[in-house]
Amino acid sequence: MASLQYPLTDSNGNITTISDPTRMIQYAQEYYQMLYSIELVEPTDIINYLDRITFDRTLDRTDAKSLELDIDLDVLTDQTNRVSKSNSPGVDGLGYPFLAVLFRIPCLKQLVLDLYNDA
């Protein structure tokens, strides 16, 4: 990395760009410290925020039932092959490229499908 732009402007509104490695580390540390610092929120503010959320759209009975059906092996295989190979792993830790490999092993297809349907 040749230089780093400090994320905040100075008192004159100027953007600071630095190339000194020590200061770059310091600025990066300050930025991420600020980014991930805990900001206390009053419980009443959270309640007020959540109370303003509305759900205008609902599923009809047919669509709701379709979500409860088992996943079909052809659909799962097709979706696995369609998605970007650079996606991050899901909550199971398995990325789609790995899942596609599992589907190429005939004795594992049913096991993987059962895992999806039991989840």
User: What confidence tens digit (pLDDT) does each residue in 58-107 have?
Assistant: 889 999 999 889 988 888 888 877 776 666 666 666 677 777 788 888 89
Sequence-distant (6+) residues with CB within 8 A of 59 are: 67
Q: What is the pLDDT of residue 90?
A: 66
Q: What is the pLDDT of residue 43?
A: 95
In the numeric block, the tokens 């009053």 are attached to 42
- pTM tops 0.75: no
Asked if 85 and 99 count as a contact pair (C-beta separation under 8 A), the reply is no
Q: Using CA atoms, how far apart are residues 6 and 24, in angstroms rounded to an integer?
A: 8
Query: Given a cut of 90, is residue 51 above it in pLDDT?
Result: yes
Query: Given a cut of 90, is residue 41 above it in pLDDT?
Result: yes
